[in-house]
Structure 1
Amino acid sequence: MEITGKSQVLPIRSRLRKFSFMSTLRKLQDTDVFGKTVLYRSPYDIALEQKDGAYVLSDDSRMTATLPTLTYLLQKQCKIVILAHIGRPAGKVDEALRTTPLAKHLSELLMLWKQRNTPVATLQECVGDEVTTYISQMSAGQIVMLENTRFHAEDDVDDDTFARQLCLNGEIVVHDGFPQAHRHQASVTGILRHLPSCAGLYFQKEYEQLSHLLEHVEHPFTVIIGGAKISDKTESIKNLSNKVDMFLVGGGVANVFLKAKGKAIGSSYIEEVPVESGKNDWVEFARTLLDRKLSGEQIEQYGNDLFEKVSPVVVQIPQDVRIETSKKTVVEKQVVDSEALAVEGDRILDIGSLTESFYSNVISRSKTVFWNGPLGMIEDERFSQGSYSVAAAMARSQANTSIAGGDTIAAAKSAIDLIDITHVSLAGGAALELLAGNKLPAVELLST
């Protein structure tokens, strides 16, 4: 659907029906894997950081989530061959993105989980004779992690020849890569075209819990969008615009909308990459959404008093922001006060206190809330308050709440107990795509 500046709001019942598209997965529990060599597609796209001269995992939540699947496979006397990609090495070997630290940490987790030594070996490649020879000599219950599949440029373009080469490493695919399920990639979808396959326990849990959320959406439905980049969210925002009642934006995404509003944003991060070659850029995309009005029904659901000082639009941008000046001091500025929010050398790095209050108020009046992407630069405590306030508002809310994505979870964990959130998803992009009503390629290939 083409997005215009005019409001195109569907009736509530029509919007609810949009979510009735869930598939039935082929499940690991219903699949014969006993004694087989399993090509295990992991969700281990985990950021690595240097500590004491070695690379370590910044967060092991995705790895911990896969322990039930791996334990199940070990109990079934499988050989386990792990596929993973890390970062964006652009088809070249990057020493900072090798899978060795992942394997080391997984070995430690399995020791804690199973109370016995289960070493995870590593290889310096993911395809080739050396790999297939090593796997052929493995014994039942052994695990090997192959090298970063993105060291091969063919992976990102879903090259079928490369997918076939990967499939020489196993008899069946067990897929736990739900955070990557929205990607067309040789190691994500390509392998599913050439081997029998099923969804792992973690994949099933993520998909079923998100499906439950979508099948029980109540309005008003509020989506909070943050993070640095808008490029991987444009299609989801566009598709969601007729299902969601209101968007609250922050982070680098908000900078795009502020610029679309005609505000000078100084040296703030903004992703100025064309949406498609020869077509509009991100700022132009944001401009098409800015003036879309809420319907009378939506305004009534949130409460007329909410909009006494704020325009009743679908996309709410920050009313004020926290800025790091060129002198490294922090100031707050209201958006309405000045065209030049930030000058060269200044960076917008968080939403301001007025916006915190308004966003929290919106959340308190919502019945379904979904959040993907931090609202500020959470690595710096001076710019984490916006994300913390949203997390706290969600924890207090009586709504059906969901938080998706590693960075978002990290921000929330610093402020609240995640037990107060209805669903916590480790899959940011895939969850957003599913929420938008898009079919996930890996889900389609894993469905009966």
Structure 2
Amino acid sequence: MTFKTLDTLTDLAGKRVLLRVDLNVPVKDGKVTDTTRIERVAPTILELSGKGARVILLAHFGRPRGEPVAEMSLEQILPAASAVLGKPVRFAADCIGDTAAAAVAGMADGDILLLENTRFHKGEEKNAEDFTAALAANGDIYVNDAFSAAHRAHASTEGLARLLPAYAGRTMQAELEALEKGLGSPARPVVAIVGGAKVSSKIDLLLNLVKKVDALVIGGGMANTFLAARGVDVGKSLCEHDLAETAKQIMIEAATATCAIVLPEDGVVAREFKANAENQVVAIDAIPADAMMLDVGPKSVETVNAWISRAATLVWNGPLGAFEIAPFDKATVAAARHAAECTKEGRLLSVAGGGDTVAALNHAGVADSFTYVSTAGGAFLEWMEGKALPGVDALKRQA
């Protein structure tokens, strides 16, 4: 994977750097409730500022559909951004035009300026040439540090790399390097764990993975669809029976590629989907007709952990069970902690991503122990599906 990084940027003093970041953070009552995404991009912002660059932040917030929406103004992010960065962040009430130009003109070396939500203009999501040119007018250099938006061919994520010298920020660099080690050119054996509710949302992902990994562990509700396709009666478990043929095709593709498909051998079943519901562990071919499987069982966890122990590389997307409610979080927690232990021992490179996955690893208390945990959501999933990411491809073109 080839792209230019900040290591190749010298003599930044006085340079106007348009830095695309992800500030799409949760806000309640006008206050940021989780600063994780700000913390992720802080190293790039502070490095550029420390080298004397005039750092101009570009970001979106919410889905305003090309019109200014007061509740989606980035101005409300300022206090949190300043606190995380430990220095003041100025604000401009537009990202283009006279307002933005005046704010940029008033910057001193090392200053940080946040421009208003790029999605307040229709040209952002359309990647319109005139809007992209208006953004570019305020910069000498473009740095993209928003992998989470790299699957969108928008003006601030792809278009600017056509008009200005383009570089990957530190977060983007770390993400791309981790992903390359995860599936691009991984150490083998490679094991993937894929969970979640539905096969229908991850068909492309599964078809791509079976060609790239040595073993594919399937958990969550989607495992029921594969079990049903094999003739197992899954009772009232969540199951997409209409996708039985798709599941069979994925298993055929896996066999052709000599990829082992690892399905549950036992399960934790209950008759109610609620916390601490009465439950029991049953063999996978003994699920009661009036019950549903809400987690994989202890024997299955042993098998999953054995695969993790055997692996040199682990890629994880999606929980093994309904981890949000006890006691159906046990399998996910046990496997996550085992993967974390193998990682800490230096025996495993572990890459995980996706909203539920991040939440599950945090729940297990091991997110910081994985080699890399992506907060990118859609971009991470599309990367796992083997799809091109416009924001990344734009950086590669300039390498």
Distance 1:323 1:172, change over 3 A: farther
Q: 1:326 to 1:433 in 2, by over 3 A?
A: closer
* 2:168 counterpart residue number: 199
Amino acid at match of 2:33: L
Q: For 1:177 and 1:209, how far apart are their aligned partners in 2?
A: 15
Residue number in structure 2 paired with 1:170: 139
Give the counterpart letter for 1:57 in structure 2.
T
Q: How many residues of Structure 1 are paired with residues of Structure 2 in the alignment?
A: 389
The match for 1:440 among 386, 389, 392 is 389
- Paired position in structure 2 for 1:31: 9
Deviations 1:325-354 (Å, cap 9, x if unpaired)? 267662457553359576xxx8x7644444
Name the residue aligned to 1:396.
341
Alignment of 1:237-316 (within 5 A): 237-251=206-220, 253-254=222-223, 285-290=246-251, 292=253, 294=255, 314=261, 316=263
Q: Is the 8 A contact 1:255 1:265 kept in 2?
A: no
Q: Would the alpha carbon gap of residues 29 and 328 (structure 1) be closer, same or farther in structure 2, given more than 3 Å must change?
A: closer
Task: For residue 189 of structure 1, report the CA deviation from its aligned partner.
Answer: 0.9
Query: 2:41 matched to 1:66?
Result: yes
User: How far did residue 140 of structure 1 move?
Assistant: 3.0
What's the counterpart of residue 384 of structure 1?
Answer: 329
SS at match of 1:162: helix
> 2:60 — aligned with what?
85
Structure 1 residues without counterparts, runs of 5 or longer: 1-21, 112-117, 273-280, 299-312
Distance in 2, Cα, partners of 1:93 & 1:231: 35
Q: Which has the higher mean CA deviation after the structures are superposed, 388-397 or 413-422?
A: 413-422
| Shift, 1:42, TM fit | 0.7
Output one character per residue of 1:157-184: Cα deviation in whole Å (capped at 9) or x when no partner: 4344433333234232111112333332
Instruction: For 1:187, give the aligned amino acid.
Output: S
For residue 145 of structure 1, give the secondary structure of its aligned residue in structure 2.
strand
* 1:81-125 deviations in Å (ceiling 9; x for gaps): 2122345555566666543443321210111xxxxxx22234454
Match of 1:359 in 2: 304
Indicate which of 285, 299, 303 corresponds to 1:336.
285
Supply the distance in 2 between the matched residues of 1:84 and 1:430 (Cα, whole angstroms). 16
Q: Matched residue of 1:39: which SS?
A: strand
User: Percent sequence identity over matched residues?
Assistant: 34
Distance 1:124 1:232, change over 3 A: farther
Contact 1:154/1:186 (<8 A) preserved = yes
Structure-2 residue corresponding to 1:179: 148
Deviations 1:216-264 (A, max 9, x none): 6343321112356767744333222211122223346556656767877
Rate the CA distance shift 1:297–1:82 in 2: closer, same or farther, 3 A. closer
Instruction: Give distance in 1, aligned partners of 2:48 and 2:257.
Output: 54
Letter in 2 for 1:174: V
Amino acid of the residue matched to residue 56 of structure 1?
A: V
Residue 369 (structure 1) aligned to one of 306, 314, 320 = 314
- State the secondary structure of the residue aligned to 1:314: strand
Q: Which amino acid letter does the alignment assign opposite residue 325 of structure 1?
A: E
Query: Any unmatched runs of 5+ in structure 2?
Result: none
User: What does 1:47-58 align with in structure 2 at a 5 Å threshold?
Assistant: 48-50=26-28, 53-58=29-34
Counterpart CA distance in 2 for 1:73 and 1:208 is 21
